[in-house]
Amino acid sequence: MRDLKLMYKKDVEIFFDACAPKWDEEMIRHDDRITKILNYAQINSGVKVLDVACGTGVLFNDYLSRNVEKVTAVDLSKNMIEIAKAKFNDPRIELIHADIEELELGELYDRCVVYNAFPHFLNPQNLIVCLYHKLKSNGRLTIAHGMSREMINAHHREQASRVSIGLISVEELSSLLKPLYDVDIALSDNEIYVVSAIKR
């Protein structure tokens, strides 16, 4: 099982390394949807944010405009991290090329955001537990997508089936979270998918 997991993660890394050079050019960004998601995530002034699977830094300017204290941004893809480093030179942003599930960070965070990435984790429960241990007491985990679940799954079937397990329903995700978190937002419509929860 561990060998299978390692093979899958390597496939994810290779896939996103290949996507990285054109990621920003091909990305469809909806500012209004991102604003809603970050409001649900309670990205406010002074918070420390852990951005999981940060890519090329899609949300960095949004975080900084909200005057966060710090962003620790982690991605499995070296190429994504290198592009993010070339784009951002702000002391509030720390960029790390690593597997979040294997990474010891040495500090805890007020907020954790997994944006447009959740289906690429082979074992969602493992990720949820991992992030629980990286949040402060009463810290908030937000898992979100800037499009509908149906659109995400259709896109992944066409473009990324080898590196996506599919996006589960907000009800299923809420059930996975409930042993460790209090879920207070579970929204899935034709524009966004958001589940946000507070660490117990």
pLDDT tens digits along 67-110 = 999 999 999 999 999 999 999 999 999 999 999 999 999 999 99
CATH number reported for the structural domain that contains residue 154 in this entry: 3.40.50.150
Least confident of 1-5, 177-181, 184-188: 1-5
Q: What percent of the chain has pLDDT over 70?
A: 98
Which pLDDT score, from 0 to 100, does residue 159 have?
86
Q: Does the pLDDT of residue 63 top 90, yes or no?
A: yes
- How far apart CA 33 and CA 29 sit, in angstroms, is 8
* Mean pLDDT of the chain, nearest integer: 95
CA nearest to 168, candidates 132, 122, 134: 122
User: What is each CA distance from 161 to 53, 110, 123, 146, in whole angstroms?
Assistant: 18, 33, 16, 19
Q: What percent of the chain has pLDDT over 90?
A: 89
Residue 49 has phi, psi (to 5 degrees) of -115, 135
Which pLDDT score, from 0 to 100, does residue 2 have?
57
Structural domain range at position 71: 2-199
Report pTM.
Answer: 0.94
Q: How far is CA 8 from the centre of its chain?
A: 18
Helix (H, G, I), strand (E, B) or coil at 199: strand
Mean pLDDT of all residues in 153-176 = 92
- Strand 181-188: give its sheet, edge to edge: 93-97, 70-75, 48-52, 109-115, 135-145, 193-199, 181-188
Structural domains in the chain (count)? 1
